């Protein structure tokens, strides 16, 4: 049984698979505690609901099987604090590739087809996870964060051809200094850096599924949904 914050059917709004139909499973729990977290309902005492749903791998796979999702994204919180072996096995049984969104700071358990690793300064990723990652997502909460995380990934052995997406932290998505820093870095460095965006937020795509939990970010204004 896994503690589940929410599950919903939408499209992937970020990274190399943006725009593709995807089923999201968001687990509870995260020891990293980013101060601007946009999924604070998975760990922050001000947002955690009174009742946490626990579901089996087969129950989750049954929900996925009812959709045309091209793949399943397991996210959090920090999903790698859980043993995902049974869930990934159940999802592969119904022929759905499994994508993982993780900070990379914990050992990954389960058969994962695609790893999106988003490093965090509060708990650095494991070198073994950095070297396995299929893409990186740097959350740019201030202009100097790009240099900080780029050095971190290099030190931990990131492959030079693995895409590195630069995403403005959502409460800073209109901060021109952050946007300019991303633009100039991509223009000056080129590959593997790419400018990123949380496209699903512009569409409000996740909210079309009533099972999607309201956003509860710490870095923005929860009453306005960012």
Question: What's the CATH architecture for 2-136+199-224?
Answer: Alpha-Beta Barrel (3.20)
Walking along the chain (226 residues) 10 residues at a time, the average pLDDT comes out as 97 98 97 92 89 96 98 97 98 98 98 98 98 98 98 98 97 95 98 97 92 79 61
Contact status, residue 28 vs residue 42, Cβ threshold 8 Å? yes
Per-residue pLDDT, 102: 98
User: Mapping DSSP to helix (H, G, I), strand (E, B) and coil, where does residue 115 land?
Assistant: strand
3-state DSSP: the chain helix, strand, coil percent, rounded to 5?
Answer: 30, 25, 45
User: Mapping DSSP to helix (H, G, I), strand (E, B) and coil, where does residue 22 land?
Assistant: strand
Per-residue pLDDT, 220: 67
Residue (of 202, 181, 205, 183) closest to 194 by Cα position: 183
Q: What is the largest CA-CA distance in the chain?
A: 49
Question: How many CA atoms does the CB half-sphere of 162 hold within 13 Å?
Answer: 21
Q: What is the 3-state secondary structure (H, E, C) of 124-169?
A: CCCHHHHHHCCEEEEEECCCCHHHHHHHHHHHCCCCCCCCEEEEEC
DSSP lists the bridge partners of residue 102 as: 117
Length of the chain: 226
Give the residue extent of every domain in the chain.
Answer: 2-136+199-224
Model-level pTM? 0.95
H or E stretch including 4?
A: strand 2-11
Contact status, residue 219 vs residue 38, Cβ threshold 8 Å? yes
The strands making up 21-27's β-sheet, listed across from edge to edge, are 53-55, 2-11, 21-27, 71-75, 98-102, 114-117, 135-140, 164-168, 193-195
Per-residue pLDDT, 55: 98
Token pair of 223 as six digits: 């009453």
Residue (of 112, 53, 100, 111) closest to 76 by Cα position: 100
Per-residue pLDDT, 221: 66
């Amino acid at each position: 049984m896994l503690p589940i914050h929410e599950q919903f059917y939408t499209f992937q709004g970020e990274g190399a698979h943006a725009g593709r139909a995807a089923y999201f499973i968001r687990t509870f729990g995260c020891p990293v505690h980013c101060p601007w977290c946009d999924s604070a309902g998975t760990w922050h005492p001000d947002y955690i609901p009174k009742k946490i749903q626990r579901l089996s791998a087969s129950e989750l796979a049954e929900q996925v099987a009812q959709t045309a999702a091209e793949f399943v994204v397991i996210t959090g919180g920090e999903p790698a604090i859980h043993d995902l072996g049974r869930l990934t096995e159940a999802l592969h049984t119904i022929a759905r590739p499994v994508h993982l969104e993780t900070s990379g700071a914990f050992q990954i358990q389960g058969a994962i087809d695609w790893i999106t690793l988003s490093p965090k300064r509060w708990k650095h990723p494991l070198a073994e996870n950095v070297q396995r990652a299929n893409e990186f997502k740097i959350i740019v909460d201030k202009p100097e964060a790009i240099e900080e995380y780029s050095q971190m990934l290099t030190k931990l052995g990131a492959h030079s051809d693995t895409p590195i997406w630069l995403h403005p932290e959502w409460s800073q998505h209109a901060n021109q200094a952050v946007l300019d820093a991303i633009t100039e870095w991509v223009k000056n460095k080129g590959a593997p850096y790419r400018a990123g965006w949380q496209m699903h937020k512009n569409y409000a795509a996740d909210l079309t599924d009533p099972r999607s939990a309201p956003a509860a970010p710490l870095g923005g204004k929860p009453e306005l949904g960012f």
